[in-house]
Structure 1
């Protein structure tokens, strides 16, 4: 279970960072199904398996934070039996998953309240929280036009477009990433997710930065949406990832190199605001 989940995370089969954190937390339950002679042995196994899950994608702050919370809660609990340690692990995992789901819903509800009927929106990549916010607005009777970038080279935006295309109240229009600037003049608001915010920098799926910069140039507000737990004040260093070159081009490159970063860095000054489960945050209040 641990190895399979780590491989799935590394391969980005799960696209939303909050979904990654939930999936990893659930995978860690498998450690409680094994037998251990002592509490110390159990702690070591829990830490070892948690580290494997974190290494699968070092860029995911929510994955890092939730896994550390599980391990540290058990390690500092002073439980005396393996059974008690296992029960505490399961309780902690359940509490974390519930908190993540509640945080996503609270942030999505705030997004929905910001969206007005007949607006034209643009979103990039695949954010379950942004999707939930748009879906909640539509279920309340709002009618929207939504431009969705393909989010190459993984084409995660197509997944977003398919979801939005299921709603009669959404006129969904899929565009290539490089066409975003051609449509931003017609857009009222850009909503994007977040992998994390560290030191006044939003790290999100590659392609976010040029959209935010172009939107700022044409005075279209950009809102980043996610759990407040993704805003990191210390103890976490973002590590970008170079994806396999076959995602960009199947045949081997001859005479040139292919670079395929998974994320890019957007200065929070390009954002209108950041919406989390805890409220709306102004960019100037983020970081030092």
Structure 2
């Protein structure tokens, strides 16, 4: 019967819509836009969760602020569990959830409030995309003609700054390889394509080249309330070397700040089935140092299992950082600490 057919179609469409939203898939789709950083993608994904929380998806029904915040926290937790390095993602989640709970409003209904939250989340993301230009222009004043710069790994805001500096000044860049992902090679390729003299150096050669540079310039995945920096692993040792050599260490932050995050994904030793530290795998006969040094074919490579035991990020103490450039200005680590604490205090 026609009526039954219509009812079945509606039921099928309803069932389909109930499973149509997946916050992890939504987050991944936003990340396909290379202009969007992980925190911004997280904010947009959580905004989408609010947009779909009117009963279409049973797990995200939110009729009160308490239910909405719970849904956002659940969504944030799902996002964090979906990635091996949730720190920068968590920065966006924490910031947006704090904003949701503190936003003053005079909305006529809860539905209107949710629409406003979605609008504000999208507005923030759009504004944040302009921060790189602001930061690049701010940092430009600290880059002199003929500057030699050391950078680490790959950062969108650092790239924006270096390309902006290249338009007006003569610069040259050393970039670390940034193992294990080798993102420094991407930096090298893009800088070289833009005509900037660039040299890739081993992570272990940071000390060797430090006396050749005028300053270090790195990005940040998050800035914690102490004023310290979370960034690609290796940043901390570069900062230590820079301080010892009396070289300025500058960090660029796109206003994605985070409270201290604890993670168990740190450098560790794999356990044997018995629960003891596993013995290193045997590699065959030991070759002479001369043979290993003279034959490039004998260069060892870490296995994926060995790489997995290493952290993707590390923490740089505030006393090692000279200045942090953000969209709110150039700040000392102490100034960053005051700003972050004040922001999360409302």
Give me the TM-score of the superposition, normalised by structure 1.
0.79
> 1:171, CA displacement in angstroms?
0.4
Q: What SS class does the counterpart of residue 249 from structure 1 fall into?
A: coil
Q: Does the 8 Å contact 2:228/2:333 carry over to 1?
A: no
1:15 CA displacement: 9.5
Aligned to 2:324: 274
Matches within 5 A, 1:47-58: 47-54=73-80, 56=83, 57-58=85-86
Q: CA deviation at 1:218?
A: 1.8
2:97 corresponds to = 68
Q: Partner of 1:250 in structure 2?
A: 303
Q: Distance in 2 between matches of 1:238 and 1:114?
A: 31
Deviations 1:153-207 (A, max 9, x none): 1112222222212212x10111221111111111111101122133243222210
Aligned pair partner of 2:213 in 182, 187, 193: 187
Given that 1:15 and 1:126 are in contact with CA atoms closer than 8 Å, whether structure 2 keeps it comes out as no
Show the counterpart of 1:2: 23
Q: What's the CA shift for 1:217? A: 1.7
3-state secondary structure, aligned to 1:154: coil
SS at 1:187 equivalent: coil
* Residue 260 of structure 1: aligned partner: 310
Q: Count residues in correspondence.
A: 274
Tell me if the contact between 2:267 and 2:311 (Cα under 8 Å) persists in the aligned partners: no
Is residue 58–residue 239 contact of structure 1 (8 Å, CA) maintained in 2?
Answer: no
Q: Which segment is superposed worse, 101-110 or 144-153? A: 101-110
Distance 1:250 1:217, change over 3 A: same
* 1:33 to partner: Cα distance: 3.9
Q: Which residue of 1 aligns with 2:40?
A: 22
Does structure 1 retain, via aligned residues, the 8 Å contact 2:42–2:93?
A: no
User: Aligned partners of 1:162, 1:241: CA distance in 2, in Å?
Assistant: 33
Q: Which residue of 2 aligns with 1:174?
A: 200
Contact 1:54 1:67 survives alignment (8 Å):
no
Aligned equivalents of 1:149, 1:25: Cα separation in 2: 31
Are the aligned partners of 1:38 and 1:81 in contact in 2 as well (CA < 8 Å)?
no
1:114 aligns with 2:162: no
TM normalised by structure 2 equals: 0.67
Which secondary structure does the structure 2 equivalent of 1:145 belong to? Answer: strand
- Do structure 1's residue 238 and structure 2's residue 291 form an aligned pair? no
When residues 209 and 163 of structure 1 are mapped into structure 2, their CA distance, relative to the original with a 3 A threshold, is: same
Q: Which structure has the bigger radius of gyration?
A: 2
Structure 2 residue aligned with 1:132: 160
Name structure 1 gaps, 5 residues minimum: none
Structure 2: 5+ residue stretches without partners:
1-21, 56-60, 269-300, 339-346
Residues 239 and 64 of structure 1: CA distance in aligned 2, closer, same or farther (over 3 Å):
farther
Distance 1:229 1:3 in 2: 20
Quick one: structure 1 residues 30 and 38, their matched pair in 2 at CA, closer, same or farther if it must change by over 3 Å? closer
Partners of 1:5 and 1:24 within 8 A in 2:
no
Larger relative strand fraction:
1
Partner residue of 1:95? 123
CA distance in 1 between counterparts of 2:212 and 2:118 reads: 49
In structure 2, relative to structure 1, the CA distance for the partners of 1:267 and 1:29 (3 Å cut) is closer
CA contact (8 A) 1:241 1:261 kept: no
Give the Å deviation of 1:113: 2.1
Q: Is the 8 A contact 2:54 2:63 kept in 1?
A: no
Contact 1:103–1:277, Cα closer than 8 Å, also in 2: yes
Aligned equivalent of 2:246, options 215, 219, 222:
219
